[in-house]
């Protein structure tokens, strides 16, 4: 086995440690291993799957389509796997990732139930010391050294609970969508409240409503919601894609979101209003996020965006019978897409059920959790179960929850005290040999994240081969390159409507978090072009030694 050559002193235990066994980490492990590197992957979950291991609440499903939300790096894999539905359910994605782990023999290098707690860089040996702790007594308390550390920790893996007084005093069943019990929950006969109406809340609410005796939906912000129109896939659907999957992937990589959606026209702002409404209606009937890609200017021109916002608002009153409820469900005050567009199944019709109540927290604030339920406004809701679908400390949270210390013992939390500064979303100045997959500064959550992880994984794999070929032991982004990229990320976001909402893209959901737009809004093709250009120019903006 060929190794990344050791620096003077002790050779590290591994060429690379990969953190996280989701889409990014599994692929990273496979890429580095197939290049002959010695790799160890640590995963906190009890199985592979990452996000799709933890978020196993009823109704959990990807909001991008199966054919897109899957690996393209191996033709045999994409040919042999048969997705059963248009949008993949959480159990099916988990099966898929387990299949990938088996198919490529990845398990022997994966340590499950093991959380990476710290990573400290040793500037003399050009290696990281990674420490782990067992989760639920099942994993390993290890200390290993590695030349490279690749953080594939996911964008949405640090769950958040609201800062409501008394949250620990509730004596009923307290649940979080992001850490759902593996053996499920029976809500029959129960009085339940769900806090949060983002993607997770919108997916779980109809499922709980169908079972529970009474469901209170505690909504702080009404978001824009479009129908999924999920359906089983037929053999003909699969054949249509698989007959030339390469071309399908290429089209996706050429598209802003990393998914090919045909344009209805160039500009919503200047389109004929009747034709524009017909175009939105067609997308609404088709289902999914493609409505956001109907016109090129929807995410950059507020007037164009407002035409779509108006269309989507109009749909709610058509579905929800009670006019007051429909009004409270109607998003106001921010553009479509500035908070992630939610893709639903049965969400709005759920509010026509007699056992469901919408509680608008802007009218009746959630002030307290107590032993028997919650206080909203001046009333008490007595509950048997309280479900939090209150989101994540996105993008930076998973990285900052690990004690990462780079050169000169500098902590990542200090380096990012004003928000994340990265080079290409791949590297951080002052943190040599540390790389991130779908991290802040990459398109990540603003794209089909699997296309982003594949781009990053391939790029990092090629970099590792380059280091080996030239007997190099250290790679680090320069402060200037990281600064310039981070400014570019900010300027690109400012050119869109995406910064005009209190979203988790901006860290606005976490009190005290610097308000910085974290994902790269320049689109997948431009991002890939820039990453390729940097590599082609001999890793411009990096110091290799
Ligand atoms: P999101 O999209 O962050 O949604 C969280 C929801 O929880 C959202 O409606 C929040 O309201 C609400 N929330 C958060 N904190 C509170 C408090 N303190 N009180 C009341 N309500 C609160 O997370 P999801 O898990 O639904 O989705 C995350 C991503 O996963 C999703 O975009 C897909 O990519 C998959 P707010 O809007 O902040 O007012």
Residues 110-146: tens digit of each pLDDT:
999 999 999 999 999 999 999 999 998 899 999 999 9
Q: What does DSSP say about strands 114-122 and 127-134: parallel, antiparallel, or unpaired?
A: antiparallel
Nearest CA to ligand 1 atom 19: 162
Bridge pairing between strands 542-544 and 475-477: antiparallel
Burial 235-254 (b: 16+ CB within 10 A, else e): eeebeebbeeeeebbeebbe
Task: Give 391 Cα–ligand 1 centroid separation in angstroms.
Answer: 4
Packing angle between helix 449-469 and helix 23-34, nearest 10 degrees?
30
Q: 98: which 2 tokens?
A: 């387990």
Residue 99's pLDDT is 98
406 lines ligand 1 (CB under 6 A): no
Whether the CB-CB separation of 267 and 296 falls below 8 Å is answered with yes
pLDDT beneath 70, residues of the chain: 1-9
- Residue pLDDT, tens place only, 457-508: 999 999 999 999 999 999 999 999 999 999 999 999 999 999 999 999 999 9
Residues 6+ apart with CB under 8 A from 244: none
Q: Is the minimum distance from the CB of 192 to ligand 1 under 6 angstroms?
A: no
3-class secondary structure, 34: helix
| Per-residue pLDDT, 8 | 55
Q: Count of alpha carbons within 13 Å of 288, Cβ hemisphere only?
A: 20
Q: Which of 355, 82, 429 is nearest to 206 (CA)?
A: 355
- How distant, in Å, are the alpha carbons of 292, 302, 348, 535 from that of 279? 11, 18, 22, 41
Give the ligand 1 atom nearest the CA of 340: 32
| Residue 394, ligand 1, Cβ within 6 A | no
* The ligand 1 atom nearest the CA atom of 391: 23
Q: How many other C-beta atoms are found inside a 10 Å radius of the C-beta of residue 136?
A: 8
**Which secondary structure element, helix H or strand E, spans residue 489, and what is its range?**
helix 479-494
Ligand 1 mutation target, pool 200, 332, 450, most atoms within 8 A of CB: 200
The residue contributing the CA closest to ligand 1 atom 10 is: 196
Distance in angstroms (rounded) separating the CA atoms of residues 87 and 102 = 23
**pTM for the full predicted model:** 0.97
What residue's CA is closest to ligand 1, atom 27?
A: 199
Distance 90 CA to ligand 1 centre (A): 19
Rounded Cα gap, residues 494 and 423, in angstroms? 19
Q: Whose CA is nearest to atom 17 of ligand 1?
A: 162
Asked if residue 158 has its Cβ within 6 Å of ligand 1, the reply is: no
Of all protein residues, the one whose alpha carbon is nearest to atom 38 of ligand 1 is: 509
42 CB under 6 A from ligand 1? no
């Amino acid at each position: 086995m060929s190794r990344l050559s050791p620096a003077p002193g002790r050779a590290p235990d591994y060429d690379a440690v990969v953190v996280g066994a989701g889409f990014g980490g599994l692929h990273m492990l496979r890429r580095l291993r197939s290049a002959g590197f010695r790799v160890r992957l640590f995963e906190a979950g009890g199985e592979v799957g990452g996000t799709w291991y933890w978020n196993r609440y009823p109704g959990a499903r990807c909001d991008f389509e199966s054919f897109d939300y899957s690996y393209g790096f191996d033709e045999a894999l994409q040919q042999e796997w048969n997705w059963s539905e248009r949008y993949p359910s959480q159990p099916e994605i988990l099966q898929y990732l387990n299949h990938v782990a088996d198919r490529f023999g990845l398990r022997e290098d994966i340590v499950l139930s093991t959380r990476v707690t710290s990573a400290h860089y040793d500037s003399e040996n050009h290696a990281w010391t990674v420490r782990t702790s067992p989760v639920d007594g099942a994993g390993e308390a290890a200390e290993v050294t590695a030349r490279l550390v690749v953080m594939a920790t996911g964008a949405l893996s640090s769950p958040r609970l609201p800062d409501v007084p008394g949250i620990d005093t509730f004596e009923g069943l307290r649940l979080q969508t992001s850490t759902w019990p593996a053996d499920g929950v029976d809500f029959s006969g129960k009085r339940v409240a769900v806090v949060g109406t983002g993607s997770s809340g919108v997916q779980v609410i109809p499922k709980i409503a169908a079972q529970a005796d009474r469901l209170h939906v505690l909504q702080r912000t009404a978001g824009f919601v479009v129908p999924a129109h999920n359906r089983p896939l037929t053999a003909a659907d699969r054949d249509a894609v698989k007959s030339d999957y390469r071309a399908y992937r290429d089209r996706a990589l050429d598209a802003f979101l990393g998914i090919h959606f045909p344009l209805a026209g160039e500009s919503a702002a200047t389109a004929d209003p009747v034709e524009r409404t017909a175009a939105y209606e067609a997308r609404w009937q088709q289902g999914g996020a493609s409505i956001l890609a109907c016109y090129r200017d929807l995410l950059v021109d507020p007037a164009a965006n407002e035409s779509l916002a108006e269309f989507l608002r109009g749909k709610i009153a058509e579905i929800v019978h009670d006019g007051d409820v429909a009004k409270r469900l109607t998003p106001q005050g921010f553009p479509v897409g500035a908070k992630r567009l939610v893709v639903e199944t049965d969400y709005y019709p759920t509010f026509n059920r007699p056992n469901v109540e919408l509680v608008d927290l802007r009218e009746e604030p959630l002030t307290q959790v107590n032993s028997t339920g919650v206080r909203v406004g001046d009333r008490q809701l007595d509950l048997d179960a309280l479900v939090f679908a209150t989101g994540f400390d996105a993008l930076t949270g998973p990285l900052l929850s690990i004690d990462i210390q780079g050169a000169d013992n500098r902590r990542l939390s200090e380096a990012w005290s004003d928000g994340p500064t990265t080079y290409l979303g791949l590297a951080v100045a002052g943190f040599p040999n540390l790389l991130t997959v779908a991290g802040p500064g990459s398109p990540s959550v603003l794209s089909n994240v699997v296309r982003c992880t594949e781009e990053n994984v391939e790029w990092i794999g090629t970099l590792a081969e380059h280091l080996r070929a030239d007997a190099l032991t250290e790679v680090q982004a320069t402060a200037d390159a990281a600064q310039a990229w981070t400014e570019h990320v900010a300027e690109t976001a400012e050119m869109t409507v995406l910064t005009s909402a209190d979203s988790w893209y901006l860290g606005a959901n976490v009190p005290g978090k610097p308000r910085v737009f974290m994902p790269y809004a320049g689109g997948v093709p431009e991002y890939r072009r820039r990453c390729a250009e940097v590599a082609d120019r001999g890793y411009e903006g990096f110091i290799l030694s």
